[in-house]
């Protein structure tokens, strides 16, 4: 009988799902066609970079495109916004970890930062945090001013408008939003406490704004997320589902690319070597290979192919094709302290409160796309300045209706990798007490890390050296940001709910709470990462300091480009997904233009 009931429940889920007009996603990409020997373009990786590129190139019926992805497609659960951290524990995550560092993540297991990145058709958009943010316009103008024509705000805005289909009523007529793109954007279903965050933001001196409008980069807002009717929109659902039946586009999942095959005589990429179903295969590219494997794996594949710092390649016994010292360098990321705020009201969420309502919440999400599960957890954003004389915001305040202590250390602690000792000392006495979280994210960090090969074996994870919080300026910003949060908690709305910072952090006992030393220790101990890794194959004119040209061609190698978050010349003051989509739309135009007259190429 139990089995029958289970069956009934699953059928019910599927029926409700179909009623929403959304196809159930298992086996969307059947992967049952033989792989041809040669295609015009081979795209590696199906995140926003690869999915957009494969879609746009296969719009030309005269071009054949092969998209190779190491993972599999998403499913009904990856569609649920509130479920996102769960997939860190699955095969949808490459399961990389940074090397131990003294600058940050001191309170994590073995002093190592967890560093998730998505593996699947749709890339990291299958289970990321859904924050849809761009950044102040001049971040892109700075990219252009670094010597990269075509990457200023004007072109990026054109690309954002191509990507986006906004369904927030008050933004539909804005010249900075669009209703014709492929990625739906809406506000998430929100909790009651989010209204208090917004009100406190106004009391703190900030307006309610559209943070994606370049005229109002500073202010508070509900988070815009990439979802439709409470369901996640991924790079696959936006860009691949509609294109998967094109006869000239071949999407192959479970295909791990080992390296690019390069004709050493002409220094031209002629194909890729990949593994599928435990056998090693080769596919040839008549025109180009495009790497969209993300900030960690794109430089890894380049180095395995003989493109990278010559001394490092030598140490790995890899014969260099092209000495490019910047491959894997300039790694940047956004970090923040994870701040826990205790309150006197019953507005936050704890495991105890959630347990009895989780099944009804699932049913509500299935039938209406609303409710708790349609919430992306980071539901309000505030773009603020630690120093009023700054010309643009330097901190993004992220408000969550739960804190690290809300779940008894069962789940979030493991997601962040916080060690048992650190958790026990810092949080056990506030387990499941009413609290919420604030993360003041530093938008413009200066510290830089790097990616290196661990070995010449393509299946080995790369070495990730973070170095974040190495630069004193970054530490000062994080200290100032925590003092700013202290001041924020003095607003009337925050005082009314009894908001106060939880003052205890393991390893920081020797410092008095509220001092610079304490705040420095806190961010170095419980370091929250946002996984906005970028810049390891950055655009630039100078091959000594960049990896691809402004046309995204790998310096010194023909027929090879990179289109993903790794090409960003500098980390933008935004979560990086929408920026990567826009980069890829821009890139597709560039590639089409370059091939519009093949004789000129």
Ligand X SMILES: Cc1cc2nc3c(=O)[nH]c(=O)nc-3n(C[C@H](O)[C@H](O)[C@H](O)COP(=O)(O)OP(=O)(O)OC[C@H]3O[C@@H](n4cnc5c(N)ncnc54)[C@H](O)[C@@H]3O)c2cc1C
If the CB atoms of residues 49 and 306 are measured against ligand X, the closer one turns out to be: 49
Check residue 577 for interaction with ligand X (CB under 6 A).
yes
Check residue 114 for interaction with ligand X (CB under 6 A).
no
Among 78, 125, 165, 386, binds ligand X (CB under 6 A): 125
Within residues 257-316, the interface with ligand X by CB under 6 A covers: 257, 292-294, 297, 301
Check residue 572 for interaction with ligand X (CB under 6 A).
no
Among 497, 576, 585, 590, binds ligand X (CB under 6 A): 576
Instruction: Report the DSSP pairing between strands 38-44 and 279-291.
Output: parallel
> What's 392's DSSP letter?
S
Check residue 531 for interaction with ligand X (CB under 6 A).
yes
Check residue 201 for interaction with ligand X (CB under 6 A).
no
Least Cβ distance, residue 334 to ligand X (angstroms) = 10
If the CB atoms of residues 303 and 565 are measured against ligand X, the closer one turns out to be: 565
Check residue 379 for interaction with ligand X (CB under 6 A).
no
If the CB atoms of residues 217 and 507 are measured against ligand X, the closer one turns out to be: 217
Helices vs strands, H then E, count in the chain: 16, 25
Whole-Å CA distances, 25 to 64, 67, 162, 524: 25, 18, 25, 41
Check residue 161 for interaction with ligand X (CB under 6 A).
no
Among 126-134, 150-158, 178-186, 485-493, which window interacts with ligand X (CB under 6 A)?
126-134
* CA–CA dist 53, 57 (Å, integer): 6
Question: What are the structure tokens assigned to 63, written together?
Answer: 């071009």
Least Cβ distance, residue 331 to ligand X (angstroms) = 13
Alpha helices in 58-148 (DSSP H): 137-145
Check residue 529 for interaction with ligand X (CB under 6 A).
no
SS3 state of residue 597 = coil
CB 423 within 8 A of CB 413: yes
If the CB atoms of residues 176 and 519 are measured against ligand X, the closer one turns out to be: 176
Within residues 487-526, the interface with ligand X by CB under 6 A covers: none
CB 34 within 8 A of CB 283: no
Which regions of 292-337 does DSSP assign to beta strands (E)?
A: 307-308, 322-323, 335-337
- Within 10 angstroms of residue 475's Cβ, the number of other Cβ atoms is 20
Total residues contacting ligand X (rule CB under 6 A)? 39
- Within 10 angstroms of residue 150's Cβ, the number of other Cβ atoms is 17
Measured in degrees and rounded to the nearest 5, phi and psi for residue 469 equal 65, 20
Q: Is 532 a catalytic residue?
A: yes
Check residue 334 for interaction with ligand X (CB under 6 A).
no
Please give, one letter per residue, the 3-state secondary structure of 175-244.
Answer: CCCCECCCEEEECCCCCHHHHHHHHHHHHCCCCECCCCCCCCCCEEEECCECEECCEECCHHHHHHCCCC
* CA–CA dist 457, 451 (Å, integer): 15
Among 65, 67, 70, 478, binds ligand X (CB under 6 A): 70
If the CB atoms of residues 189 and 204 are measured against ligand X, the closer one turns out to be: 189
506, 532, 555, 575: the active-site residue: 532
Which residue, judged by CB position, is nearest to ligand X in the bound state? 47
Among 28, 29, 48, 494, binds ligand X (CB under 6 A): 48
Please give, one letter per residue, the 3-state secondary structure of 8-31.
Answer: HHHHHHHHHHHHCCCCCCCCCCCC
If the CB atoms of residues 300 and 555 are measured against ligand X, the closer one turns out to be: 300
Among 28, 46, 248, 386, binds ligand X (CB under 6 A): 46
Residues forming the site for ligand X (CB under 6 A): 44-50, 68-71, 116-120, 123-125, 128-131, 256-257, 292-294, 297, 301, 531-532, 564-565, 575-578, 580
Residues forming the active site: 532
């Amino acid at each position: 009988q139990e089995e029958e009931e289970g069956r009934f429940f699953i059928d019910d889920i599927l029926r409700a799902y179909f009623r929403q007009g959304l196809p159930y996603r298992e086996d969307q990409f059947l992967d049952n066609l033989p792989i041809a020997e040669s295609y015009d373009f081979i795209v590696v990786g199906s995140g926003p970079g690869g999915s957009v590129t494969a879609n746009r190139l296969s719009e030309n019926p005269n071009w054949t495109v092969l998209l190779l992805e190491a993972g599999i497609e998403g499913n009904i659960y990856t569609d649920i916004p509130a479920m996102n951290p769960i997939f860190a524990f699955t095969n949808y995550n490459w399961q990389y970890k940074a090397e131990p560092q003294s600058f940050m993540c001191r309170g994590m297991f073995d002093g190592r930062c967890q560093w998730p990145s998505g593996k699947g058709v749709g890339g990291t958009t299958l289970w990321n945090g859904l924050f849809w943010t761009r950044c102040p316009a001049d971040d892109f103008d700075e990219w252009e001013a670094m010597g990269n024509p075509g990457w200023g705000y004007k072109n990026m805005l054109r690309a954002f408008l191509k990507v986006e289909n906004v369904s927030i009523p008050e933004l539909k007529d804005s010249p900075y939003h669009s209703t014709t793109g492929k990625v739906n954007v809406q506000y998430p279903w929100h909790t009651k406490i989010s209204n208090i965050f917004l009100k406190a933001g106004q009391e703190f001196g900030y307006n309610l704004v559209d943070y994606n409008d370049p005229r109002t980069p500073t202010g508070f807002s509900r988070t815009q997320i990439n979802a439709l009717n409470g369901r996640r929109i991924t790079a696959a659902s936006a860009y691949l589902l509609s294109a998967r039946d094109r006869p000239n586009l071949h999407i192959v999942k479970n295909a791990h690319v080992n390296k690019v095959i390069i004709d050493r005589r002409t220094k031209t990429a002629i194909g890729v070597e990949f593994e599928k179903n435990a056998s090693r295969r080769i596919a040839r590219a008549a025109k180009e290979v495009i790497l969209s494997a993300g900030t960690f794996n794109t430089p890894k594949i380049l180095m395995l192919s003989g493109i990278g710092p010559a001394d490092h390649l030598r140490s790995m016994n890899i014969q260099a094709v092209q000495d490019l010292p910047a491959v894997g360098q300039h790694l940047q990321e956004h970090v923040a302290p994870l701040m826990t705020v205790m309150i006197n009201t019953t507005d936050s969420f704890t495991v105890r409160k959630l347990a009895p309502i989780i099944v009804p919440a699932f049913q509500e999400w299935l039938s209406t796309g609303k409710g708790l599960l349609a919430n992306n957890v980071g539901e309000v954003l505030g773009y603020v300045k630690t120093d009023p004389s700054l010309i643009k915001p330097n901190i993004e305040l992220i408000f969550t209706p739960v804190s690290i202590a809300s779940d008894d250390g069962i789940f979030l602690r493991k997601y962040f990798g916080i060690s048992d000792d650190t958790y026990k000392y810092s949080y056990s006495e506030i387990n499941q007490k009413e609290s919420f979280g604030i993360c003041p994210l530093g938008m413009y960090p200066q510290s830089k890390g790097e990616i290196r090969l661990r070995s010449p074996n393509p299946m080995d994870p790369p070495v990730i050296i973070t170095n974040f919080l190495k630069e004193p300026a970054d530490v000062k910003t994080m200290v100032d940001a925590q003092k700013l949060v202290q001041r924020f908690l003095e607003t009337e709305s925050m005082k009314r709910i009894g908001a106060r910072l939880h003052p205890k952090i393991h390893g920081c006992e020797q410092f008095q709470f509220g001092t610079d030393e304490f705040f420095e220790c806190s961010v170095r101990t419980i370091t929250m990462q946002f996984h906005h890794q970028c810049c390891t194959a950055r655009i630039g004119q100078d091959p000594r300091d960049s990896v691809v040209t402004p046309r995204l061609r790998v310096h010194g190698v023909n027929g090879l480009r990179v289109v993903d978050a790794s090409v960003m010349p500098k980390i933008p003051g935004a979560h990086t997904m929408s920026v990567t989509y826009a980069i890829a739309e821009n890139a597709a135009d560039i590639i089409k233009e370059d091939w519009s007259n093949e004789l000129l190429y």
